[in-house]
Amino acid sequence: MTIQWFPGHMTRARRQIQDKLKLIDIAIELLDARIPLSSRNPMIDEILAGKPRLIVLNKSDLADPKVTEQWMAYFRSEGHECVSIDANTGTRIGDIVVKSKLLLHAKIERQISKGINPRAIRGLIVGIPNVGKSTLINRLAGKNIAATGDRPGVTKGQQWIKIGTEMELLDTPGILWPKFEDPIVGYRLAVTGAIKEEILNIDDIAFHAVKELCARYWPAMKERFDLDTPPKDLDDSDEIVRIMEEIGRRRGCLIGGGRVDFEKVSVIVLREMRAGKMGKISLEEPLTAMAHLSVPGKGEQE
Ligand code: G4P
């Protein structure tokens, strides 16, 4: 689902999250491990207002593991505990409970020293659309999804989902908006499939994908599409078009007169990249990404 965000929607989303923050001990900020900055809400520090926070890099099955490690180190250097998971298979999702307990350790200890039996930690998952919030909630919940409020006699509203005995999650996540006014952010969200293709032109998205892939993963591109020479200048659009033409010829995407069908090439490049056919790919690294994008909390706020 693609949400068109307008200022009114943002204000409402923000208010909804702020209401939920009153109920919880910790926010779980879900990011896409392939594009942690582009999948981040530009006002997140302000919205969470000092609430303890765990950063979770999701879709790590698709991301370059070396780069994910760099991101974990980066977020830790910024003072945030961070874990990487794959919500689809449930890989390492147990780390969320372990790290949340660690982050709230002092509070739990204080309660114990006062003779209070600590209750389960209460958490809220927040993130932009398509980052994997529902997948993670379902995966963590297992069979413990509470009765929903759609039946008579059951109160509509917040439900807690039990994760073992030590943690509970609000059943509805906090939905945030990305920093979409930055065109690079928009393209990266589209390349990774977070923004549907109807919004941006598919040829443009694939052009951007080919450019980024040639810049970062040329050996994988060369091998996958049997390419000859890398673009001489990544900022020369003719060179990127040349690579797309070469892919089209290799894959038989031709229309009348031997011309390349760019739309077909675009579909192939995006589908194969998203399916991991070119290996595990990250489109942002801490240093290069920061050179282009402002980092929430560090520089410009939206
Ligand atoms: P949301 O609630 O944050 O909006 O996201 P949601 O859980 O609906 O997940 C969006 C898509 O991302 C889903 O694909 C889901 O399967 C996929 N996804 C979530 N977590 C992971 C992960 O760790 N690894 C991988 N590889 N994929 C993950 P979908 O239903 O097929 O949607 P789409 O691909 O058609 O957009």
**Dist. CA 196–CA 114, nearest whole Å:** 52
Are 234 and 211 within 8 A, CB to CB? yes
Query: pTM of this prediction?
Result: 0.90
Task: Name the residue of 130, 176, 191 whose CB sits within 8 Å of the most ligand 1 atoms, as the mutation to test its pocket.
Answer: 130
Ligand 1 centroid from CA 249, angstroms: 32
Closest C-alpha to 211, from 195, 194, 197, 191? 191
**Dist. CA 213–CA 147, nearest whole Å:** 45
- Interacting residues of 59 by C-beta distance below 8 A, sequence separation 6+: 32, 33, 34, 86, 87, 88, 131, 132
62 lines ligand 1 (CB under 6 A): yes
283 lines ligand 1 (CB under 6 A): no
Q: What pLDDT, on the 0 to 100 scale, is given for residue 243? A: 98
Q: Relative to the CA of 135, which ligand 1 atom is closest?
A: 7
Are 41 and 128 within 8 A, CB to CB? yes
Ligand 1 centroid from CA 130, angstroms: 6
Closest C-alpha to 31, from 215, 282, 297? 282
What's the mean pLDDT when you consider all of the chain? 89
Helix (H) or strand (E) holding 6: none
Q: Average pLDDT, stretch 190-202? A: 84
Q: What pLDDT, on the 0 to 100 scale, is given for residue 256? A: 85
149 lines ligand 1 (CB under 6 A): no
Q: What pLDDT, on the 0 to 100 scale, is given for residue 254? A: 94
87 lines ligand 1 (CB under 6 A): yes
**Per residue in 228-259, pLDDT tens?**
999 999 999 999 999 999 999 999 999 988 89
DSSP string, 121-140: EEEEEEE-TTSSHHHHHHHH
140 lines ligand 1 (CB under 6 A): no
135 lines ligand 1 (CB under 6 A): yes
132 lines ligand 1 (CB under 6 A): yes
Ligand 1 centroid from CA 132, angstroms: 5
Ligand 1 centroid from CA 88, angstroms: 7
Ligand 1 centroid from CA 58, angstroms: 10
Least trusted range by pLDDT, from 42-56, 159-173, 222-236 = 159-173
Cα 45 to chain centroid distance, Å, stands at: 17
For residue 217, what are its two tokens?
Answer: 């993963």
